[in-house]
Amino acid sequence: MRQTYGKQLPGMRLTDLPGKLVVIEGTDGAGRSTQINLLKPWLEELGHAVLDTGMTRSRLAGDGIRRAKERNNLGRVTQSLFYATDFIDRLEKEIVPALRAGFIVLTDRYIYSLMARAIVRGMDPSWIRSIFSVALKPDAVFYLRIGIEQLLPRVVFSRGFDYWESGMDLFPGQDIYEGFCSYQATLLAEFDRLAAEYKFEIVDASADAEAVCAHLKKKILQIIEPVPVEEPAAKLPNFFGESLADKIFANLRREYEKAQIHAEDPLPMTPQPEHVPLARANGSRF
């Protein structure tokens, strides 16, 4: 039986959820979506059905949040609750049904990002925790951790500075570079606290994407049950003909072995040094 962080939503049965919930967390620019784009086809090749989901992708609230953010008068309490609406809609309408159908759910951010963002915006941590107490506990949380100094060039030379990701609603009047550093450092500190509290698997995201991915694959293989590769004939109904079934499973077995070999090289997990902006962020404002 699945567990939540304390409360259960009406109508949400926690039994018979055989799928796996895999969370990719991390600050902006840590490479979360890159990893999901690599992991999804890999899992599908192994024979697993995959749902990928992420913030503001709900049918109910996604557009509403985007419109509200354009208007620049989105208050902090309102913002936190709008994101919670988006999350719960996806939890009920996408994540839980997918887990019930045996999918592997890869989610780009989960409640932890939402909590971190709310907390750095001054929301009471116990308030935001209470709201997300209805969330399912995931099977794994991979925290792609990257320091400000490695993050900066990624942001500067790709999409540039974003108003909200630079915390300009929090640090109005600051230069956007200063805002970015202050905001990301504050978020990072909050993420580190959450990582300890919720026992995230910390992954050094400053390594290149393939090395990070190999590490994630290895960890994911530990939590997913392999597609049945032993005695295929006994498990697959005969209407395909045995030879076809054998071929499918032999193919899958090869993919599995390949993946395990790839995942062999261990990724060095050195803790990141703390950067200067963290010290500033711990100053008077927070």
Partner 1 sequence: MGITSSIHVGPYEIFYPLKPSVSSVQQFGQHNLPGRLFVVEGIDGSGKSTQLSLLHKWLEARGYGVVFSEWNSSPLVKDTTKLGKKKKLLTPATFSLVHATDFADRTEHSILPFLKAGAIVLCDRYIYTAFARDAARGMDGDWVRDLYGFAVKPTAAFYFRVPLETAIGRLVGARDGFKYYEAGLDLGLTGDAEDSFRLFQGRILEEYEKMIPEFGLTVIDATMPVEAQQAQVRQIVQSHLVNAKELRIQQ
What span, in angstroms and rounded, lies between the C-alpha atoms of 22 and 140?
Answer: 5
Q: Are strands 201-204 and 140-145 parallel, antiparallel or unpaired?
A: parallel
- Half-sphere exposure (Cβ direction) of 2: Cα atoms closer than 13 Å: 25
Q: Which residues contact 276 (CB under 8 A, 6 or more apart)?
A: none
Stretch that binds partner 1, among 131-139, 204-212, 243-251, 259-267 (CB under 8 A): 131-139
Q: Which of 206, 202, 190 is nearest to 153 (CA)?
A: 206
Site string for partner 1, 79-98 (x = CB under 8 A): -xxx-xx--xx--xx-----
By C-beta, is 11 or 271 nearer to partner 1?
11
Which residue, 59 or 247, is less far from partner 1 as judged by CB?
59
Site residues for partner 1, window 165-204 (CB under 8 A)? 170
Nearer to partner 1, 7 or 13 (CB): 7
- In angstroms and rounded to an integer, the radius of gyration of the C-alpha atoms of the chain is 21
Pairing of strands 20-25, 201-204: unpaired
Nearer to partner 1, 76 or 154 (CB): 76
Note whether 3 binds partner 1 by CB under 8 A: no
Neighbours of 33 (CB within 10 A): 13
Per CB under 8 A, contacts with partner 1 among 30-59 are 59
Interface residue with partner 1, options 37, 68, 154, 161 (CB under 8 A) = 68
Total residues found in the chain within this entry = 286
Query: How far apart are the C-alpha atoms of 54 and 271, rounded to whole Å?
Result: 27
For position 282 contacting partner 1 by CB under 8 A, the verdict is no
Query: Minimum CB separation from partner 1 for residue 184, in Å?
Result: 17
Rule CB under 8 A: which residues touch partner 1? 7-11, 59-61, 63-64, 67-68, 71, 73-78, 80-82, 84-85, 88-89, 92-93, 119, 121-127, 130-131, 133-134, 170, 284-286
